[in-house]
Amino acid sequence: MLKKVEICGVNTSQLPVLTNGEMMELFGEIHKGDQNARMKFIQGNLRLVLSVIKRFNNRGENLDDLFQVGCVGLIKAIDNFDLSHNVKFSTYAVPMIIGEIRRYLRDNNSVRVSRSLRDLAYKALKARDELVRKNTKEPTLMEISKELGIPSEEVVFALEAIQDPVSLFEPIYHDNGDAMYIMDQIQDDKNKDEKWIENIAVKEAIKKLNEREKMIIKMRYFDGKTQMEVADEIGISQAQVSRVEKNALYSVRKTMTN
């Protein structure tokens, strides 16, 4: 199906490709209200839409429908792209196109999700799009949560309810021969300075615990054992493990906040 030459009446083998310089020149005309420049820009970026919809080819969806939905995302990206942020148009447009296609697929999904949960998820997605438009980068979960005034746990639950699992290493676009993967669009918080400092603070706080508390915290949070497994291994009751663990965590939090 992806080798189909004509999609929605468009001969994909003859689609034009614009250089970055040509796109910047056209944007200047588009901002002046030139509709011919706008149409030329859309035509010159239809290959970008084709590249994105390839990742959805295993869902059995009609390619013409996905192409039309992807074009809606492309047009939204054109309308909201800000030249002053000095980023490539494709970098900004790809997530917008994917988001539009995902919304279409969710609306046509046979798996039923409660109306309230779906509404919350759509609010989160809308907030995400507004933050992308404002900051020209992917917002964090906490930023979306703050924007909505809703606890982050509720946002995660809502988004997971309407989300389809995908591989982080799945290519979503090929830019000048180099594949752009989902992983490339995700912010890595693990190695940030504040995370590194926080880990040091936790380790220092644990050092101040007594030997039994250290042992139980290690077994529970570093070895991944249940309270019952810890109780069996060190010969005390599960209730005692729970008490020691609770006191240890309180001490760690108190040490870190002082």
CA 138 – CA 143 distance, rounded (Å): 10
- End-to-end CA, the chain: 62
Domain parsing of the chain, residue ranges: 6-185, 193-257
* Cβ density class 116-125: b for 16+ within 10 Å, e for less: ebbebbbbbb
pLDDT at residue 210, as a whole number: 92
Q: Is there a common fold for 6-185 and 193-257? A: no
| pLDDT by 10s per residue, the chain, length 258 | 444 555 666 666 677 788 888 888 888 888 888 899 889 998 888 888 888 888 777 666 778 888 889 899 999 988 888 877 777 888 888 888 888 888 888 777 655 556 777 788 888 888 888 888 888 888 888 888 889 998 887 888 777 766 655 545 455 555 554 555 555 555 555 545 455 555 667 788 888 899 999 999 888 888 888 888 888 888 888 888 888 998 888 888 888 776
CATH code for residues 193-257: 1.10.10.10
Q: In CATH, what class is 6-185?
A: mainly alpha
Count, residues in the chain: 258
Name the nearest CA neighbour of 63 among 26, 101, 37, 107: 101
**pLDDT score, position 58:** 65
Q: Is 200 left (phi over 0), alpha (psi -120 to 50) or beta?
A: alpha
